[in-house]
């Protein structure tokens, strides 16, 4: 059995001859994973998802494989195995949450008994009689996810699922995604431009920029790649402490700021304690580097 639920092999795509949207993009998405597809706006994430779901036709033959087989040979039957929300969820705002699900169940010939199960799963059972137009943005997103899960798909594709949500809504979607993956064993592909949220949610990820793959691996692989951090410390006057700086790996930035290089952010408390014990008068400590800075450098400098 193929260990990858989705693979793209040197996938290329362009709307015109002047600009390539995707260039030799090769992704390997493990079965059972929560796979984050990360990149800045305009990197090619949505185009890739549209290609994977068959909403856009491939331009180079047999570049996309789902469930171990070429996508084009499985259309349209493969849609029975996939649930997806690409860009804005399609809801019927004049209908209740229950009736939105009922409509999709009727179209997909799914038993109505699944509706209550989905409402419970996405946390909307108490609001099932309320019209969708009265739902918050987060509730609408959860309802859309419930609709996408009605036919028990093996793969769930979510394009920017937390875009525009408030902090509570983001947490609710994050926990829902984890629960779906754990309880139902569904492989989930999530596109996002938010590194912090991908870190908290996913088991694997890929980073693309300008249609090119910059990184792919597990979250553990990413952590190994980005251990080093730097810490900037604001002091009253650097010159007062120059005799004590020999103990530290340090770079002087200006007359009041020092930059320390650490192997891991867990060393920050020890560094601060050391500085205090050596009578440094500290006004501010700022962490630099790590995953966020690495991601910014990766996507801005290419």
**Does residue 158 share a domain with residue 12?**
yes
**Model-level pTM?**
0.81
Q: How many domains does the chain have?
A: 2
**Does residue 135 share a domain with residue 256?**
no
**Does residue 237 share a domain with residue 129?**
no
Domain termination residue (choose one: 224, 243, 260): 224
Domain termination residue (choose one: 224, 241, 272): 224
Interior/surface letters 254-280, b for 16+ CB within 10 angstroms, e for the rest: eeebbbbebeeeeeeeeebeebeeeeb
Per residue of the chain (302 residues), give pLDDT as tens. Answer: 469 999 999 999 998 888 899 999 999 999 999 999 998 888 999 999 999 998 899 987 789 999 999 999 998 899 999 999 987 788 999 999 999 999 999 999 999 999 999 999 999 999 999 999 999 999 999 999 999 999 999 999 999 999 889 999 999 999 999 999 999 999 999 998 888 888 889 999 999 999 999 999 998 887 666 667 788 899 888 888 888 877 677 777 788 888 887 777 778 898 888 888 888 899 999 887 666 667 777 777 55
Integer angstrom CA distances of residue 232 from 8, 92, 258 = 42, 51, 6
**Does residue 290 share a domain with residue 192?**
no
**Does residue 233 share a domain with residue 115?**
no
Domain range for 196 is 4-224
Domain termination residue (choose one: 202, 224, 246): 224
Residue linked to tokens 């946390």? 123
CB 164 within 8 A of CB 8: no
């Amino acid at each position: 059995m193929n260990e990858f639920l989705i693979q793209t092999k040197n996938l290329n795509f362009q709307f015109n001859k002047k600009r390539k949207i995707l260039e030799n993009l090769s992704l390997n998405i493990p079965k059972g994973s929560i796979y984050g597809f990360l990149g800045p706006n305009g990197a090619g994430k949505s185009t890739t998802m549209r290609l994977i779901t068959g909403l856009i036709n491939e331009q180079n033959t047999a570049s996309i494989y789902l469930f171990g087989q070429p996508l084009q040979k499985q259309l349209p039957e493969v849609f029975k195995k996939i649930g997806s929300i690409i860009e804005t969820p399609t809801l019927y705002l004049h209908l209740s949450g229950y009736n939105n699900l009922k409509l999709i169940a009727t179209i997909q010939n799914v038993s109505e008994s699944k509706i209550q199960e989905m409402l419970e799963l996405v946390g909307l059972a108490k609001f099932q009689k309320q019209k969708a137009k009265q739902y918050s943005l987060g509730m609408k997103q959860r309802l859309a996810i419930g609709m996408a899960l009605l036919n028990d798909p093996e793969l769930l594709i979510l394009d920017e699922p937390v875009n525009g949500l408030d902090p509570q809504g983001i947490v609710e979607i994050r926990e829902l995604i984890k629960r779906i993956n754990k309880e139902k064993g569904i492989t989930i592909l999530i596109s996002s431009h938010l590194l912090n949220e991908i870190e908290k949610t996913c088991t694997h990820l890929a980073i693309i920029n300008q249609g090119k793959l910059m990184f792919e691996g597990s979250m553990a692989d990413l952590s190994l790649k980005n251990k080093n951090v730097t810490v900037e410390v604001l002091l009253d006057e650097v010159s007062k402490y120059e005799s004590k700086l020999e103990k530290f790996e340090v770079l002087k930035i200006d007359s009041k700021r020092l930059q320390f290089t650490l192997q891991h952010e867990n060393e920050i408390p020890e560094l601060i304690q050391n500085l205090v014990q050596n009578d440094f008068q500290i006004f501010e400590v700022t962490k630099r580097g790590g995953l966020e800075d690495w991601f910014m450098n990766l996507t801005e400098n290419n």
